[in-house]
A and B are shown apart, each in its own frame.
Chain A
């Protein structure tokens, strides 16, 4: 029982990070209908921003740690906007496939540029927050895991609020619903798309920091696997659907953790991806996605 609860906590804290990254994929898909494969590398840049800023912003205390977190989010938001402006905007009226290939190109650029800039070897990520272990009977929860959960929940609530309660959020939803009609009623599509990238990339930056806090060894290729898992999570939940991405992330995290704890641990990824295939077979639009009739 204790083991089950412990695995549940492990799975949730891993899933929460997947959820944060998955939201970025799903938001960009919502407005532009393409998968931004560079997203997982923005996540990596987020942890490197944390790595370099941590000593300067007084990491190791709660305000210092939060400062690093927000700085990384801001830096990633800026990076997201720049990537969109330089790489994707010129291709706005091209086919989705062209943009998709460009996204892979940007991803490779960030990975290899990162290897050149940061060095290819793994670096030790500094401590951001004071750390303790909390014991609940047999259960052990590290304060880092709690911070991951708390920050994720806070960011999810914030995101929900922005998307559903602000003018720019309404514009995002309108754009996602019908881009031409949105521009007809006076929405500045380019500005909204920039904002979407900023928001998604900020979440990836936060994910990068939280991930590095829990797995304090960072390298320029670290984004690939979590990025892939988060992409799967976004598809699992129904791509383009925000609560779906969050749910998908948590599910993938939990499934992985529970399988890792058994004898079948080496089949972890195989089982996670098999679940994806099954769900797509029976619910092609994902768990929470709605089937849409494609107009030709």
Chain B
């Protein structure tokens, strides 16, 4: 029995030694790689989103390492899968922050799961850059959370500007999903900007997410005689709205948000989708030299074209690299300050400036459905 405390003491000693050893192994040296964590939905329902983002991140990583890495050290990305499930982001970020000791995080393009992981990054003072979480709440979590995509309110503003300046619309009707903060937010900011620019909102019709019949609302909108309809919602409802609008003989331009960007929009609405406008983060057909170059490199590397989130993943990685370079160190607070000071980063999705709320200020590409394809129309700056 007397042996017992001694065994325990020995055990503690061993643990102490082992963890000390661990720390020594992670200590920075000339050749130890800079570790960046990524948490994305690599499998599950939104696997498409996560996989394409991940490919963009890896492409950026290869380019960085080919150019000699950062601060004279190679860069390494440790990717964790969130399985498109609620709760997994917390586990993934905890592992990346406390076990892998990553110096920065890229991740989760889906707003909901980003909101789960971000507080852990914030508490650990690890800067996080999200490629495509557009919900305004994400960057409100704390001063270590940044994004390279535009936000929901921003889309409303951009579409108002597009309707007013490019479509020369004076009277616009709104069709809003009152059950989705995404839709309500877009509509509010659209209204604000459109009115400020001298436009009139002639009708504001509402529906609840999951509705399938929009004929009544559309008939009322038609009677109000607008020049265009702004219907921000996700592609499921959008497809039915477009379909029923054309059935009712409404030929007006219909505008939406980035929630329209899905092949299902065209599957459901068919020919009725023709002519719909919506903003995207990145267009394959953009004429910008950087964007074209990125599309070429990506296609050559993966034998398939990138999607919007690939470009955002690439930009997130490159923005982070730029900040680390400017900070000259891998200290969390220093990288954070460098990220916050970004004012003219040339990304493949456009020129990015980080504002005081840690959101990207950049332009949006407007897409129109033509002949069953998403075609680039123009770039609109806020």
Check if A260 sits within 8 Å of B217, measured CB to CB.
yes
| B-side contacts of A135, CB under 8 Å | 249
Q: How far is the CA of A214 from the CA of B244 in the complex (A)?
A: 8
**What sequence of 0s and 1s flags, for each residue 74-102 of chain A, a beta carbon within 8 Å of any chain B beta carbon?**
00000000000000000000000000000
Total count of chain A residues near the partner, CB < 8 A: 31
| A-side contacts of B219, CB under 8 Å | 3, 6-7, 10, 261
- Give which listed residue, B216, B243, B249, B264, contacts A140 with CB less than 8 A: B249
Chain B residues numbered 307-345 whose CB sits less than 8 Å from any CB in chain A: none
Q: How far is the CA of A265 from the CA of B213 in the complex (A)?
A: 12
Check if A142 sits within 8 Å of B247, measured CB to CB.
yes
Residue A122 CB within 8 A of the other chain: yes
Residue A14 CB within 8 A of the other chain: yes
| B-side contacts of A124, CB under 8 Å | 239, 264, 267-268
Interface-side segment among B78-86, B116-124, B200-208, B348-356: B200-208
Check if A216 sits within 8 Å of B216, measured CB to CB.
no
Residue A262 CB within 8 A of the other chain: yes
Check if B206 sits within 8 Å of A265, measured CB to CB.
yes
Nearest-neighbor residue (CB-CB) of A123 within chain B: B267
Residue A173 CB within 8 A of the other chain: no
Residue A178 CB within 8 A of the other chain: no
Nearest-neighbor residue (CB-CB) of B248 within chain A: A140
**What sequence of 0s and 1s flags, for each residue 182-220 of chain A, a beta carbon within 8 Å of any chain B beta carbon?**
000000000000000000000000000000001111000
| B-side contacts of A166, CB under 8 Å | none
Tell me how far the C-beta of A258 lies from the nearest C-beta in chain B, rounded to whole angstroms.
Answer: 7
Residue B212 CB within 8 A of the other chain: yes
| B-side contacts of A142, CB under 8 Å | 247-248
| A-side contacts of B223, CB under 8 Å | 2-3
| A-side contacts of B240, CB under 8 Å | 215-217
Identify whether the interface residues of B are mostly helix, strand, loop, or mixed: helix
| B-side contacts of A261, CB under 8 Å | 216-217, 219-220
| A-side contacts of B216, CB under 8 Å | 7, 10-11, 256-261, 265
**What sequence of 0s and 1s flags, for each residue 192-222 of chain B, a beta carbon within 8 Å of any chain A beta carbon?**
0000000000000111101011011101101
Given that A124-B264, A135-B249, A262-B220 are known contacts, is A215 also in contact with B213, CB under 8 Å in the complex?
yes
Residue A281 CB within 8 A of the other chain: no
| A-side contacts of B248, CB under 8 Å | 6, 140, 142
**What sequence of 0s and 1s flags, for each residue 132-172 of chain A, a beta carbon within 8 Å of any chain B beta carbon?**
01010000101011000000000000000000000000000
Residue with the greatest number of chain A CB neighbours at <10 A, chosen from B219, B247, B264: B219
Residue B236 CB within 8 A of the other chain: yes
Q: How far is the CA of A141 from the CA of B342 in the complex (A)?
A: 55
Residue B142 CB within 8 A of the other chain: no
Q: How far is the CA of A241 from the CA of B249 in the complex (A)?
A: 38
Q: How far is the CA of A15 from the CA of B234 in the complex (A)?
A: 27
Residue B382 CB within 8 A of the other chain: no
Q: How far is the CA of A10 from the CA of B212 in the complex (A)?
A: 13
- Give which listed residue, B178, B207, B213, B247, contacts A144 with CB less than 8 A: B247
Residue B270 CB within 8 A of the other chain: yes
Check if B205 sits within 8 Å of A265, measured CB to CB.
yes
- Give which listed residue, A127, A133, A259, A260, contacts B270 with CB less than 8 A: A127
Residue A225 CB within 8 A of the other chain: yes
Q: How far is the CA of A11 from the CA of B216 in the complex (A)?
A: 8
Nearest-neighbor residue (CB-CB) of B215 within chain A: A10
Q: How far is the CA of A261 from the CA of B206 in the complex (A)?
A: 9
Nearest-neighbor residue (CB-CB) of B223 within chain A: A3
**B residues adjacent to A (C-beta < 8 A):** 178, 205-208, 210, 212-213, 215-217, 219-220, 222-223, 236, 239-240, 243-244, 246-249, 264, 267-268, 270
Other A-B pairs beyond A214-B244, A258-B216, 7, CB < 8 Å: A3-B222, A7-B216, A14-B215, A124-B268, A133-B247, A259-B216, A261-B216
Q: Could you write out 20 A-B pairs with CB less than 8 Å apart?
A: A7-B216, A14-B215, A122-B268, A124-B268, A133-B246, A133-B247, A133-B249, A144-B247, A215-B213, A215-B240, A222-B212, A225-B210, A256-B213, A257-B215, A258-B216, A259-B216, A262-B220, A265-B205, A265-B216, A266-B178
Return the 4 tightest CB-CB contacts between A and B, nearest first. Answer: A260-B216, A140-B249, A124-B267, A215-B212
